[in-house]
């Protein structure tokens, strides 16, 4: 479990392609490797991955085909950076939102507006089906960063980023058409799905 407050970035060092997965190795900053152990969960661009190898600052993860196909890991190239966050502990406060690290889909950046301290990202989901879970002022995890939805259109939405977030994440280097990982609010998904199911059953009973 994470809270979407990114603690640093890591640089992709190598990719080893195996039969059923790919092993990604990143160069981690010193503040993240402290107390890191095999099996530890790390939010990597918002995707919960388990550490499989530690060699000083070189940290490796296995990415199975399911994860590879549903996230922007398939778009990563050598030298690219990802957002990283260690999991919450019982002693930690929740400064952002509760995030599971289960990426539901990806989105494409369709516009970027960067005017002084007003940085805005406009995004379009790769699957329009998930737009029903997007609401104004609700939170969304974009590449592991907890953000608030500020604008909503028929098939896209917008988020603001403060200067501090830009300093600590990879967003300042994002370009139009880049792909990002998306996790939506699980509570909203449950409410929407339950409501849809109730209405569907209600209408079905009336017709009968």
Q: Note the pLDDT tens digit of each residue in 24-75.
A: 999 999 989 988 999 999 999 999 999 999 999 999 999 999 999 999 999 9
78 with 20, same domain: the answer is yes
Element (H, E) at 195: helix 186-207
Please indicate, yes or no, if residue 3 is contained in any of the structural domains: no
Residues 154 and 182 in one domain: yes
Handedness of CA 117, 100, 183, 130 (dihedral sign): negative
- Beta-bridge partners for 8: 84
On whether residue 201 sits in a domain, the answer given is no
Distance, CA of 188 to CA of 192 (rounded, Å): 6
Q: How far apart are CA 108 and CA 180, in angstroms?
A: 6
For the chain, what is the domain count? Answer: 2
| Residue 99 included in any domain | no
Domain that holds residue 33: 8-85
Residues 6+ apart with CB under 8 A from 194: none
pLDDT at 205: 76
Over the chain, what is the mean pLDDT?
92
Q: Give domain status of residue 60, yes or no.
A: yes
How many helices and strands, by DSSP H and E, does the chain display? 4, 12
Residue 200 within a domain: no
Q: Both 113 and 78 in a single domain?
A: no
């Amino acid at each position: 479990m994470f809270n979407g407050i990114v603690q640093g970035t890591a640089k992709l060092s190598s990719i080893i392609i195996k039969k059923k997965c790919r092993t990604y190795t990143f160069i981690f900053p010193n503040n993240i490797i402290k107390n890191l152990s095999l099996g530890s969960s790390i939010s990597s661009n918002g995707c919960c991955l388990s550490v499989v190898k530690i060699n000083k600052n070189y940290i490796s993860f296995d990415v199975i085909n399911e994860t590879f196909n549903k996230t922007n890991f398939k778009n990563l190239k050598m030298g690219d950076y990802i957002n990283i966050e260690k999991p919450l502990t019982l002693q930690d406060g929740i400064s952002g939102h509760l995030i599971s690290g289960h990426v539901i889909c990806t989105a494409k950046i369709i516009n970027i507006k960067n005017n002084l301290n007003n940085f805005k990202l406009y995004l379009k989901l790769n699957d329009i089906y998930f737009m029903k879970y997007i609401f104004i002022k609700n939170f969304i995890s974009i590449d592991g960063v907890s953000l608030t939805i500020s604008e909503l259109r028929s098939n896209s939405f917008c988020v603001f980023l403060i200067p501090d977030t830009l300093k600590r994440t990879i967003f300042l280097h994002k370009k139009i058409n880049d792909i990002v990982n998306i996790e939506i609010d699980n509570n909203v998904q449950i409410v929407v799905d339950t409501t849809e199911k109730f209405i569907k059953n209600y209408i079905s009973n009336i017709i009968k």
